Each structure stands twice: as C-alpha cells, then as structure tokens.
Amino acid sequence: MIDGVIFDKDGTLFDFRASWGAWAARLVEMLAAESGLSASVLGAAIGFDPVTRRFVPDSVVIAGTPTEIARDLAAALPGASADLLEERLNRLAEGAPMLPAVDLAAVLGALRDRGLRIGLATNDNEEAARAHLAAHGITGLFDYIAGYDSGHGPKPGPGMCAAFARQHGLDPARVVMVGDSRHDLEAGRAAGMRAVAVLTGIAGAAELAPHADAVLPDIAHLGAWIDSLAA
C-alpha cells in the first residue's frame, strides 16, 4: 500500500533536455560575453555542450544544486564570486522554460484521486520550483514543496523526503520517491522509502535499475504500478 508520492522535478515532472538545455545555453552565452571566455569552455565546466545543447551523463546540472553549479563555474571564471553566481543562477532558473514530460495536471490529479499525498523534492531552489509549478497551474496539487535551500539539505541526503513523511504523518515505507537520477533514488532509500525511476532525464535504465524498485518510461505509468502493488 502506498500513501504518498514525492517527486523530483527536473527530468521527472519536466523533460530535462528540452527544459534545461535552453537555460544552460543562455547561461554560458551570457557569461561568455561578459568574461571573454568561450561558451564551450564555460559549458565544459558544467558538463554541457552549447553547440549540441546536450549534457554529459555526469553533468553537475543534472543532479547538483545551484551552489555546486556556481562553484564549478566560478572555478572557470577568474575572479568570479561563487555566491554571486549562485544568486544569478537562481534568478535565471525561475524563468527557465519548463516542458512537461506528461500531462501533469491529469497524472497528478489521478494520483490525488487515489487519496495520495503528493510532494516535491528538488535540488533546485524552492522559489524557482514554485515558479515552475505555478507556470503550469499545478502548485495546488502538491501538499509539500522543498528545494535544496528549504532547510532539509539537498539530495542524495534523505532530509527533504523524510520531512515530507514526517510533516504529513506518513510511514516512509508506504511512500515512494520518484526520480530520474541516482541522487533521487538514493535519497528515497535513505529515508526508508520505495524508489521508482523514470526515463525522462539523462540516465538510462541500465544505470537506474540497480537502485530502483521499478523503472518506468515516465510518471504517467506510476498509477498502474501503484495499483499493481495492491493487486
């Protein structure tokens, strides 16, 4: 029996490549114009190719926090302040064009109709996460929203997941964490939850399967998987 679901955001609710490729391209082009460095050099610092708009599998953008992204960029920008870069990254993130991986209102609404509590745990900042959900009219479908800066720590630590269960009186063993990266799955496991992987991010099934109870094409398949547990 499942009583709650906590989702990752990028690569899970929203298609990662389509959403963050444009953001990363804008970021490195802007910093290149200001610094005189090439966009390719700055892109390499965060595992991103601005020509193809593709991320390498271990890109810090995929599962890292804005703090970590800013740190890596600052290392490539002589004299740059990581703290100031982090502030800029967070402002840019709020306006990033998010492309839903599925019909989010329909899928999340169907899960709520099952009586499930719904949460969000993202290594993005909370303000940007709320802006992205609001832009698609789905904020009200969430009982809980947390980012790396919400006071529970980032993933793969269990803090955000554990806080979701604690605040809503849920047994972690009856909650599932859904995400597209090992960080997501490890965070859920560390909080005592089931872990389900989806393939709308960068990582493939072979990488995720050893860490997941199930690997699904996208979150639209989650309801049927939950139903199968009770069958």
Question: Rounded CA gap, 118 and 210, in Å?
Answer: 25
Q: What is the mean pLDDT of the chain?
A: 96
* Mean pLDDT, residues 156-167 taken together: 98
Inter-residue contact 105 to 141 (CB < 8 Å): yes
Q: How confident is the model at residue 230 (pLDDT cuts 50, 70, 90)?
A: confident
The answer on pLDDT for 231 being more than 80 is no
Per-residue model confidence (pLDDT) at position 77: 95
- In this structure, what DSSP letter does residue 133 have? H
> Residue 60 has which token pair?
């810090």
Please state, in angstroms and as integers, the Cα–Cα distance from residue 25 to each residue in 22, 82, 89, 188, following that order. 5, 19, 12, 31
* Mean pLDDT, residues 211-215 taken together: 98
In degrees and rounded to multiples of 5, residue 175 shows phi and psi of -125, 145
Q: What is the pTM of this model?
A: 0.91
What contacts 96, CB < 8 A, 6 or more positions away?
19, 20, 22, 23, 128, 132
The answer on pLDDT for 227 being more than 90 is yes
Per-residue model confidence (pLDDT) at position 106: 98
- In this structure, what DSSP letter does residue 8 have? -
Name the burial class of residue 113, with classes exposed (0-12), middle (13-18) and buried (19+) by CB atoms within 10 angstroms of its CB: exposed
185-200: per-residue pLDDT in tens?
999 999 999 999 999 9
Q: How confident is the model at residue 43 (pLDDT cuts 50, 70, 90)?
A: very high
Please state, in angstroms and as integers, the Cα–Cα distance from residue 122 to each residue in 118, 119, 146, following that order. 13, 10, 6
Q: How confident is the model at residue 63 (pLDDT cuts 50, 70, 90)?
A: confident
122-156: per-residue pLDDT in tens?
999 999 999 999 999 999 999 999 999 999 999 99
**Of all residues in the chain, what percent carry a pLDDT higher than 90?**
93
CA atoms within 13 A on the CB side of 143: 22
Question: Domains in the chain, start-ordered, CATH in brackets?
Answer: 4-15+98-230 (3.40.50.1000), 18-94 (no CATH)
Inter-residue contact 56 to 72 (CB < 8 Å): no
Q: How confident is the model at residue 95 (pLDDT cuts 50, 70, 90)?
A: confident
Q: Angle CA(150)–CA(130)–CA(75) in degrees, nearest 5?
A: 60
Any idea of the CA torsion for 112, 107, 97, 16, to the nearest 10 degrees? Answer: 110
